Structure 1
Amino acid sequence: MADMPEFEPGEHAEGTSHPDPATAAFVAHRNLLFTVAYEMLGSAADAEDVLQETWMRWVGVDLAEVRDQRAYLVRITTRQALGRLRTLGRRKESYVGPWLPEPLLTAPDVAEDVELAESVSMAMLLVLETLTPTERAVFVLREVFDLDYDEIAEAVDKSQAAVRQIAHRARSHVAARRPRETVSPAESRDALAAFQRAVRTGDLQNLLDILAPDVVLLTDGGGIKQAALAPIVGAGSVAAVLTRIGGTTSLLPVQVNGYPALAVRRDGELDTVMAVHVDGGLITGLYAVRNPEKLSRMERETALRR
């Protein structure tokens, strides 16, 4: 079994001056392929598995027969992600409580790419959850990565005419549910800093001042950690929950899914990742991921950065 290359672009396999052509092509497009898979699946762990499956198929391809390596790799990744997405859909039907995407630690420069940041935000990924698997694939490939219809048609095994119809339907669906326009990264950071101070001190009034009247809190414990089984709506109800967080926890600002967020640590371990959606200077959405299975990757990454 061929192992998927772990080195970054510009590095070489040990003992060689240059990677072989298949490895070089895969590494060059790895970030793109991961983002495609993550936006389709909402899970970094599953996206990595899809990349492993893509690599296994890619190393068996005759490169002399490949006209466009990027398009070919995207096609493999999309097909693998579609299969996994359908399986995940069946699992989510029995999921305990609200399902939230696996938080993805992102570099600060992602926030400067407004379109990419929005496409991987918690709020947008939840909108994409309402699409069918094929609609989601078409929307991601067309609206986020601007692939041509002929490339998308090959990736999802549909005609170009069908893909155009699916794209139109998906765009309309997303437009009707798209989160309201968010503020700038600087304004988001300011709102998060105020939110962090209020949660840390447990000051109810300060929390009420930063929360929108119709704020919604979603908590994902996956049936493993304590979490609300339904959305908590309204500033008063949400603030009452948040005032219990401070005290024995530490709150660290992090960049998650393209936007500022808080990592809540308890007894030295990552307990919760809380992403926020800000509109008009107020927090309108809170997404608290507590399921340990969705935090293991971020725990490793934040541990390496400390």
Structure 2
Amino acid sequence: METEAIFRNFQPLLFSLAYNMLGSIMDAEDCVQETLLRWEDALKQEEKEAIHSPRSYLCAIATNWCLDHLRKAHVKRETSLSNWLPEPVVRTNLEEQVEIAETLSIAVLRLLEQLTPLERAVFLLRQVFDYEYAEIARMVGKSEHSCRQIIYRARQHLASKRPRYPVSKELHEQFLQRCLQATSQGDMQALLDLLAEDVTLYCDGGELRWPMPLHGSSDVARYLLAINEKVSRETEWSWKLATVNGAPGMLVHAYGRIDAVISCELREGRIQEIDLIVRPDNLQHLQQESIWWGSVY
């Protein structure tokens, strides 16, 4: 296989790895570009014969680029962890095939942000991309034993915070629509019927200065109704179903732009978590897309 064809073949994988590590589309694209440059440089220096597995070689470059990037940004990200949410990967055509190898949900990326950069890298390489421990150890410069310990700790950390039973796409979409409808109609009781008592809402910004995250159905419902009241007073708004990080989600259009991306997690027939992405920097990549908007509430 030609060297350019090799890189093109693994480009979706590299983007997926970088995005799941960094939570940023722009940074992931920068990582892929830098990986290409280093790949080309290695070939120019006649290291081709030493590259036994292009997949592992390229992923090692991308992983270490991401580790360096995360370590530089660690202090800044740590101070804003309470309201950090990733830049969403959105598909407005619900039938469209995602062109990247794997995209973790908003909720899982938020959880992974609580891990150290090294823990995050090892977890993704093993759990998402199915590398053997020996390969992971070589990539990150640690022993196999250390990598196994890292995986064990990460699994324990995530196990209690993720839904045990997946729900169907249809049910997921239904809950999202019912939640938006209840919010738009100012129906407090309908919202409470949809939300788990211990529901948590995460939001990365906005003009309503409520402390984040919000816990409990009453506080979350009041917050959603407060947002609706403010926006409805100032402008018309509409929503559209979309695929957000591989799962059903919604785009909210207000003030002449995409004003929010919403995703949620369900557990035992109720909404357990709502992730509300409103920070302009996280939505900038969506503003150029041509999107049809349906009913206005």
Shorter-chain TM-score: what band? 0.7 to 0.9
Q: Which residue of 2 aligns with 1:74?
A: 59
**What does residue range 1-306 of structure 1 map to in structure 2 within 5 Å?**
21-62=2-43, 63-95=48-80, 98-106=83-91, 108=94, 116=102, 120-221=104-205, 226-246=208-228, 247=232, 248-300=236-288, 303-306=289-292
Q: Deviations over 1:79-105 (max 9, x none)?
A: 101111112222113438511111111
Equivalent position amino acid for 1:29 in 2: F
Say which SS state the counterpart of residue 90 (structure 2) adopts: coil
| Inter-partner Cα distance in structure 2 for 1:43 and 1:292 | 13
| Inter-partner Cα distance in structure 2 for 1:61 and 1:270 | 42
Equivalent position amino acid for 2:55 in 1: R
Contact preservation (8 Å) 2:265, 2:272: yes
Q: Deviations over 1:264-296 (max 9, x none)?
A: 111220111111111223211111111111111
Task: Give 1:71 deviation, angstroms.
Answer: 0.8
Contact preservation (8 Å) 2:199, 2:215: yes
Q: TM-score, normalised by structure 1?
A: 0.83
| Inter-partner Cα distance in structure 2 for 1:273 and 1:91 | 23
| Inter-partner Cα distance in structure 2 for 1:227 and 1:51 | 37
Aligned residues: 279
Contact preservation (8 Å) 1:111, 1:185: no
Greater CA deviation, 184-193 or 165-174?
Answer: 165-174
Equivalent position amino acid for 1:49 in 2: D
Contact preservation (8 Å) 1:195, 1:210: yes
Unaligned residue ranges in structure 1 (runs of 5+): 1-19
Q: Which residue of 1 aligns with 2:295?
A: none
Q: Deviations over 1:218-259 (max 9, x none)?
A: 1102xx755533212222221122123443321222110122
Say which SS state the counterpart of residue 244 (structure 1) adopts: helix
Task: Give 1:200 deviation, angstroms.
Answer: 2.5
Say which SS state the counterpart of residue 56 (structure 2) adopts: helix
Unaligned residue ranges in structure 2 (runs of 5+): 293-297
Residue 284 to residue 111, structure 1, CA distance change in 2 (3 Å): farther
Greater CA deviation, 122-131 or 96-105?
Answer: 96-105
Task: Give 1:208 deviation, angstroms.
Answer: 1.8
Contact preservation (8 Å) 1:153, 1:163: yes
Say which SS state the counterpart of residue 214 (structure 1) adopts: strand
Contact preservation (8 Å) 1:104, 1:298: no
Task: Give 1:179 deviation, angstroms.
Answer: 4.1
| Inter-partner Cα distance in structure 2 for 1:30 and 1:104 | 16
Give the CA RMSD over aligned residues: 2.5
Greater CA deviation, 287-296 or 232-241?
Answer: 232-241
| Inter-partner Cα distance in structure 2 for 1:39 and 1:178 | 17
| Inter-partner Cα distance in structure 2 for 1:111 and 1:210 | 30
| Inter-partner Cα distance in structure 2 for 1:74 and 1:265 | 37
Contact preservation (8 Å) 2:94, 2:242: no
Residue 91 to residue 109, structure 1, CA distance change in 2 (3 Å): farther
How high is the sequence identity, in percent, across the aligned residues? 38
| Inter-partner Cα distance in structure 1 for 2:140 and 2:40 | 21
Contact preservation (8 Å) 2:198, 2:272: yes
Contact preservation (8 Å) 2:13, 2:102: no
